C-alpha cells in the first residue's frame, strides 16, 4: 500500500480527497511545548466552568490571554481569529499536539536530560478531537507518529516549506520548527497537513508538555489506572505491579509516554492506546468529583491546566471555555469514541506504517459530523428505505426474522441470536469466546484489554470498561 497522498502530483498542496485545493489550518504563535495526550484539554474545558467570582474569572482569563496564540495564514489566505461559540449548535474540532521537550526543570525531570535532547522539538503525540454539535459525543483519533504520508507545502514564520512525499508524520513538526524557528510554524504546518490528509477544516489546536500534564493530574488528586501486567521500564523508571493503581502526575505521565519494557511491544501505536485510556480515566476522575461546587479545587485545577496549555485564539476565551464546559457537565463517558488511525505495514519498510482504506472511512464520518462507531453504521443500515416504503434490516440481522422475534408472518419463530453487548464490560462475546469491541469491530485481548484491528492485527485502542471491571475488578460507576 502506498502512503496516504494525493494522486495528482501536479498540485503543490497535496490532499487525499479529490478537492481542487487543500483545506487549511491556521497558524499559531506560541512559546510552550507539548508532550502527550488530550486529557489536559478536555479536563481543562470541563473544569473552567463554575468559577464563582468575577475576580476568579478575570484571573483565569488573564492566564488564557497570556498564553493565547496568533494564526499564520496559509497559501495566501488571510488568517482569521474565529471564536468558537459553544451555543451555536455546531461541532468543535481541534488538534492536540504532544511535544517531547526537555526545556524547563519539570520537563527534564520527567523526560530525562541529555546534550542530544537539549533542543528537542518533536511532537510524538497527535490527536484529532471532535465534539458533537449537540455535545452528546466526542470523537478522539490518534495519528501514529510513524505514519508515512505525503504532506502539503506550508507557510512558516521564516519562509515556505515545499510539499513533501513519503515522510514520517512526526517529522512535520520538528522540520517546520527548524525552518520557522518557532512553535507557531511547527503547529501550523502540522495542522495544515492534517486538514489536507483528512479533508477536515480544523481551525484550532492546543499544546501541553510533560510538566503540564503532570501538574494537571496532581491538581486533580491523581488518577486510577489499571495495569494488566507487572510493568518495568528502565527508560522511564516506571515500576508497577499488576492491578489498580492511583497514580500521581509524574507516574501517570510516564505511563502515557512509556514505549519500552514489559507490558509494551516497543511501538508507538500501542502507546497511543494507553494515552486514550488515560484520557478516559482522567475524565472519569474529574466527573466523579463534584468540582463544580468545590470552587477552590476547581480553580486550582483550571489554573494548573491553563498555565500548561497554549490555546489558539479561537478557543482562548474564558466565556467560550466555560460555556463548553457546562454543556459537557453531564457527558456520558460511553460516548467518548477513541481510536487510532487504522494502519498496516509499509511495503518499503516494515518498521513504518501507512493508513489503510478504513482510515478514509473514519475521516468521512468526522467530516459528516458523526460518531466514529460502527454501531452508527448498523443503525443507519437498519432503517434504509428500499423504495417500496418498507425499511430494510441491518447488516447483521437475518432478513427472514422479524425484529419482534417473529418469523415475519406474525407467528413466533426463531429467536434473535445476534450477540448482545455486555452492559458491564461493554463488549460482545462470540460463541467461540472471542471478545469484540462494538465501537470499532476490533478484537479484544482478554489478558490486557487491548483492541486490535480484525484485519491487520494492529493496535487501535483499549477496552477501558472491560479492563477496569475484569482485570482490576473495579465496580462500575452508575
**Longest CA span, the chain:** 78
Q: Which ranges of 199-267 would DSSP assign to H, the alpha helix? A: 210-220, 249-257
| pLDDT recorded at residue 305 | 65
User: Could you read off the pLDDT of 321-371 as tens digits, one per residue?
Assistant: 766 777 777 789 999 999 999 999 999 998 899 999 999 999 999 999 999
412 DSSP assignment: B
User: How far, in Å, CA of 52 to CA of 47, rounded?
Assistant: 12
Alpha carbon 34 to chain centroid, angstroms: 14
Question: Are the beta carbons of 196 and 15 closer than 8 angstroms?
Answer: yes
As a whole number, mean pLDDT of residues 180-205 equals: 91
Distances (CA, A) of 447 to 260, 262, 373: 19, 14, 24
Residues 106, 111, 115, 121, CA torsion sign: negative
pLDDT digits (tens, 9 = 90+) for 54-79: 345 546 666 666 777 766 777 766 66
Domains of the chain listed by start with CATH number: 84-372 (3.40.630.190)
Q: At 14, is the pLDDT very low, low, confident or very high (cuts 50, 70, 90)?
A: very low
Residue pair 218/246 in contact (Cβ under 8 Å)? The answer is: no
Cβ distance 149 to 167 under 8 Å?
yes
Question: Using alpha carbons only, what angle is made at residue 333 by residues 245 and 240, rounded to the nearest 5 degrees?
Answer: 15
Give the pLDDT score at 116. 52
H helices, E strands: number in the chain: 13, 22
The model's pTM is 0.77
CB-based contact 71:80 (threshold 8 Å): yes
Instruction: Kindly tell me the burial class for residue 177, based on how many C-beta atoms sit within 10 Å of its own C-beta (0-12, 13-18, 19 or more).
Output: buried
- In this prediction, residues 201-205 reach a mean pLDDT of 88
List, as one string, the DSSP characters of 43-112.
Answer: HHHHHHTT--SHHHHHHHHHHHHHTEE-----TTPPP--PPP-TTSS--EEEEEEEEE---SHHHHHHH-
Q: Tell me which DSSP letter residue 421 carries.
A: B
What percent of the chain lies above the pLDDT cut of 70?
A: 63
Helix (H) or strand (E) holding 194: helix 183-198
Candidates 319, 324, 316; CA nearest to 65 is 316
The DSSP code sequence of 130-180 is: EE-TTSS-EEEEE--TTBEEEE--EEETTEEEPPEEEEEGGGHHHHHHHHH
pLDDT score recorded for residue 77:
67
Q: Contact at 8 Å (CB) between 254 and 300?
A: no
Q: How far apart are CA 279 and CA 38, in angstroms?
A: 7
Residues 6+ apart with CB under 8 A from 379: 394
**CA dihedral sign of residues 88, 362, 272, 1:** negative
- Quick one: pLDDT at residue 210? 74
pLDDT for residue 55: 43
Q: Tell me the pLDDT tens digit for each residue of 77-131.
A: 666 555 555 556 788 899 988 876 545 544 444 445 545 555 667 777 899 999 9
C-alpha cell at 364: 468521512
Q: Identify the bridge partners of residue 160 per DSSP, sorted by sequence position.
A: 155
Is pLDDT larger for residue 76 or for residue 260? 260
Q: What are phi and psi of 32, to 5 degrees?
A: -100, 175
* 131-190 pLDDT tens trace: 999 989 999 999 999 999 999 999 999 999 999 999 999 999 999 999 998 888 888 899
Residue 219: per-residue pLDDT: 81
Report the chain's C-alpha Rg in angstroms.
23
Local confidence band at 415 (pLDDT 50, 70, 90 cut-offs): low
Given a contact cutoff of 8 angstroms between Cβ atoms, the answer to whether 32 and 86 are in contact is no
Q: What does the CA dihedral 237, 240, 244, 245 come to, rounded to 10 degrees?
A: -40
Q: What does the alpha-carbon distance between residue 327 and residue 360 come to, in Å, rounded to a whole number?
A: 30
- How far is 245 from 243, CA to CA, in rounded Å? 6
Amino acid at each position: 500500500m502506498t502512503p496516504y497522498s494525493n494522486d495528482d502530483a501536479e498540485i503543490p498542496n497535496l490532499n487525499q480527497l479529490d478537492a481542487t485545493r487543500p483545506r487549511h489550518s491556521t497558524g499559531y504563535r506560541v512559546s510552550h511545548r507539548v508532550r502527550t495526550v488530550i486529557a489536559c484539554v478536555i479536563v481543562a474545558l470541563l473544569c473552567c466552568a463554575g468559577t464563582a467570582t468575577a475576580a476568579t474569572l478575570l484571573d483565569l482569563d488573564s492566564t488564557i490571554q497570556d498564553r493565547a496564540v496568533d494564526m499564520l495564514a496559509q497559501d495566501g489566505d488571510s488568517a482569521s481569529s474565529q471564536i468558537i461559540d459553544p451555543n451555536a449548535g455546531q461541532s468543535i474540532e481541534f488538534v492536540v499536539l504532544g511535544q517531547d521537550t526537555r526545556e524547563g526543570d519539570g520537563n527534564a525531570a520527567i523526560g530525562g536530560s541529555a546534550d542530544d535532547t537539549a533542543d528537542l522539538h518533536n511532537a510524538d503525540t497527535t490527536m484529532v478531537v471532535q465534539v458533537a454539535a449537540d455535545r452528546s459525543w466526542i470523537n478522539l483519533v490518534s495519528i501514529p507518529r510513524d505514519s508515512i504520508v505525503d504532506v502539503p507545502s506550508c507557510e512558516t514564520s521564516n519562509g515556505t516549506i515545499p510539499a513533501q512525499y513519503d515522510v514520517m508524520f512526526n517529522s512535520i513538526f520538528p522540520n517546520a520548527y527548524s525552518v520557522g524557528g518557532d512553535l507557531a510554524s511547527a503547529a501550523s504546518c502540522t495542522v495544515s497537513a492534517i486538514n489536507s490528509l483528512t479533508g477536515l477544516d480544523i481551525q484550532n489546536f492546543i499544546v501541553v508538555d510533560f510538566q503540564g500534564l503532570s501538574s494537571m493530574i496532581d491538581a486533580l488528586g491523581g488518577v486510577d489506572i489499571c495495569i494488566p501486567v507487572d510493568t518495568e521500564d528502565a527508560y522511564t523508571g516506571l515500576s508497577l505491579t499488576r492491578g489498580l493503581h492511583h497514580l500521581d502526575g509524574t507516574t501517570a505521565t510516564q505511563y502515557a509516554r512509556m514505549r519500552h519494557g514489559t507490558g509494551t511491544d516497543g511501538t508507538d501505536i500501542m502507546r497511543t492506546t494507553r494515552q486514550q485510556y488515560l484520557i478516559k480515566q482522567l475524565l472519569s476522575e474529574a466527573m466523579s468529583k463534584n468540582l463544580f461546587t468545590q470552587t477552590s479545587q476547581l480553580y486550582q485545577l483550571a489554573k494548573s491546566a491553563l498555565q500548561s496549555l497554549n490555546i489558539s485564539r479561537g478557543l482562548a476565551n474564558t466565556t467560550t471555555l466555560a460555556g463548553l464546559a457546562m454543556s459537557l457537565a453531564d457527558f456520558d463517558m460511553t460516548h467518548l469514541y477513541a481510536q487510532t488511525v487504522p494502519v498496516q505495514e509499509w511495503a518499503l519498510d516494515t518498521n513504518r506504517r501507512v493508513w489503510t482504506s478504513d482510515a478514509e472511512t473514519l475521516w468521512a464520518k468526522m467530516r459528516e459530523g458523526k460518531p466514529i462507531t460502527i454501531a452508527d453504521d448498523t443503525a443507519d443500515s437498519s432503517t434504509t428505505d428500499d423504495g417500496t416504503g418498507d425499511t430494510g434490516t441491518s447488516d447483521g440481522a437475518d432478513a427472514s426474522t422479524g425484529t419482534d422475534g417473529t418469523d415475519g408472518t406474525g407467528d413466533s419463530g426463531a429467536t434473535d441470536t445476534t450477540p448482545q453487548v455486555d452492559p458491564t464490560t461493554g463488549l460482545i462475546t462470540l460463541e467461540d469466546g472471542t471478545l469484540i469491541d462494538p465501537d470499532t469491530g476490533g478484537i479484544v485481548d482478554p489478558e490486557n484489554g487491548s483492541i486490535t484491528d480484525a484485519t491487520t492485527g494492529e493496535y487501535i485502542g483499549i477496552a477501558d470498561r472491560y479492563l477496569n471491571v475484569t482485570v482490576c475488578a473495579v465496580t462500575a460507576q452508575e
